[in-house]
């Protein structure tokens, strides 16, 4: 049992379990928007929110573990990633596969608890998440595919709350997609030389580091535009606009940390600041949503 718990701890570290914070606040925002917009009480609200969290964490954990398994050989040839758990021999592929399967089952169970449509769509969601892991082998636009994978979360949360999709929430899906793609492009700049050597596809490889950082900036501009459109179509208030302003400030600071000739602060830009972006965005928007429900 001691060996099992050690391997489980290593697996959670491998999939960066704590980084669920990147997408989870946006999923919860989608759920709260559905609750705010409902003209009736959402049944079992607390349980639905609980299962949304379980579904989100299960899907992300399965996707991350699958990605690590598929990329283990590539990671082993990259000096930046050679000490990751699988190429370094800290974990076996068998255990990683078991974790992937169990996480997938957790996601499917949560989807079943959230309603018929969620359960029907769940296998398609998993297929999309797993498909991303292959993308850098054949398309430059893998960053956008990753963004779409995270952007599914708020749309799925809306369906979980209401039983059907409202096209308006797709502005949030688009915002998350552009946000994720932008910071993933920044992160991928670290592997520019490796991608060229291995023949892997990425925007940095296609455009160079300077061009890739420019693309990342424009992707984040698109994110802000989508958030403004989301606030408009849902007629949100000043707190939501304040949240968007804060997101803009954080993104501007994020881009100030990285330069074509100096990528030493990529991890701060990638991990720390984007965690703040998602959490602070949720705090402001959740406050706006709860205030609206109290007033109306």
Residue 76 banded pLDDT, cuts 50, 70, 90: very high
pLDDT > 80? residue 269: no
Q: Is residue 1 part of a domain?
A: no
Q: Is residue 4 part of a domain?
A: no
Alpha-helical (H) ranges within the chain are 2-14, 24-37, 45-70, 72-77, 93-113, 116-135, 142-162, 170-188, 192-198, 203-233, 238-256, 266-267, 273-295
Between 49 and 19, the higher pLDDT residue: 49
Residue 41 banded pLDDT, cuts 50, 70, 90: low
Q: Are 293 and 36 in contact (CB under 8 A)?
A: yes
Strand, helix or coil at 20?
helix
**CATH code, domain carrying 259:** 1.10.357.140
State residue 280's pLDDT score.
93
Residue whose token pair is 């402001």: 284
State residue 39's pLDDT score.
61
State residue 224's pLDDT score.
97
Q: Is residue 147 part of a domain?
A: yes
The domain tally of the chain equals 1
* pTM score, whole prediction: 0.94
Tell me what the pLDDT averaged over the chain comes to: 91
pLDDT digits (tens, 9 = 90+) for 7-40: 878 777 777 766 677 788 999 999 999 988 876 5
Between 165 and 40, the higher pLDDT residue: 165
Q: Is residue 283 part of a domain?
A: yes
- Cα–Cα dist 206/224, whole Å: 25
Q: Is residue 72 part of a domain?
A: yes
Q: Are 152 and 121 in contact (CB under 8 A)?
A: no
State residue 267's pLDDT score.
81
Average pLDDT over residues 147-174: 95
Q: Work out the percent of the chain whose per-residue pLDDT is above 70.
A: 95
Look up the domain containing 157 and give its range.
9-295
State residue 18's pLDDT score.
67
Q: Is residue 2 part of a domain?
A: no
Tokens for 33?
């928007």
Q: Work out the percent of the chain whose per-residue pLDDT is above 90.
A: 77
pLDDT digits (tens, 9 = 90+) for 178-217: 999 999 999 999 999 999 999 999 999 999 999 999 999 9
Residue 281 banded pLDDT, cuts 50, 70, 90: very high
DSSP 19: G
Residue 124 banded pLDDT, cuts 50, 70, 90: very high
Average pLDDT over residues 130-159: 96
| CA–CA distances in Å: residue 19 to residues 40, 270, 272 | 34, 11, 10
State residue 17's pLDDT score.
67
pLDDT > 90? residue 107: yes
- Cα–Cα dist 164/158, whole Å: 7
């Amino acid at each position: 049992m001691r060996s099992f718990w050690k391997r489980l701890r290593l697996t959670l570290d491998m999939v960066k379990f704590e980084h669920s914070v990147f997408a989870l606040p946006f999923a919860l925002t989608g759920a709260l928007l559905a609750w705010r917009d409902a003209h009736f009480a959402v049944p079992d609200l607390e349980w639905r929110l609980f299962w949304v969290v379980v579904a989100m964490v299960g899907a992300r954990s399965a996707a991350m573990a699958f990605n690590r398994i598929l990329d283990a050989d590539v990671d082993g040839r990259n000096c930046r990633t050679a000490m990751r758990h699988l190429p370094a021999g800290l974990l076996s592929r068998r255990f990683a596969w078991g974790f992937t399967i169990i996480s997938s089952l957790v996601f499917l169970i949560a989807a079943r608890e959230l309603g018929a449509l969620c359960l029907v769509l769940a296998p398609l969601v998993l297929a999309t998440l797993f498909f991303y892991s292959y993308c850098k082998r054949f398309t430059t636009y893998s960053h956008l595919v990753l963004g779409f994978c995270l952007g599914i979360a708020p749309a799925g949360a809306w369906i979980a709350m209401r039983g059907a999709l409202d096209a308006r929430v797709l502005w949030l899906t688009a915002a998350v997609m552009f946000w994720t793609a932008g910071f993933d492009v920044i992160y991928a700049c670290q592997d520019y030389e490796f991608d060229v050597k291995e023949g892997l596809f990425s925007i940095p490889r296609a455009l160079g580091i300077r061009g890739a950082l420019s693309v990342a900036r424009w992707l984040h501009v698109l994110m802000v535009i989508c958030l403004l459109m989301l606030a408009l179509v849902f007629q949100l208030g000043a707190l939501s606009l304040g949240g968007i302003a804060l997101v803009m400030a954080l993104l501007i600071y994020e881009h100030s940390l990285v330069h074509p000739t100096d990528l030493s602060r990529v991890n701060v830009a990638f991990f720390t600041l984007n965690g703040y972006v998602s959490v602070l965005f949720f705090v402001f928007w959740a406050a706006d949503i709860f205030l609206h429900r109290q007033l109306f």
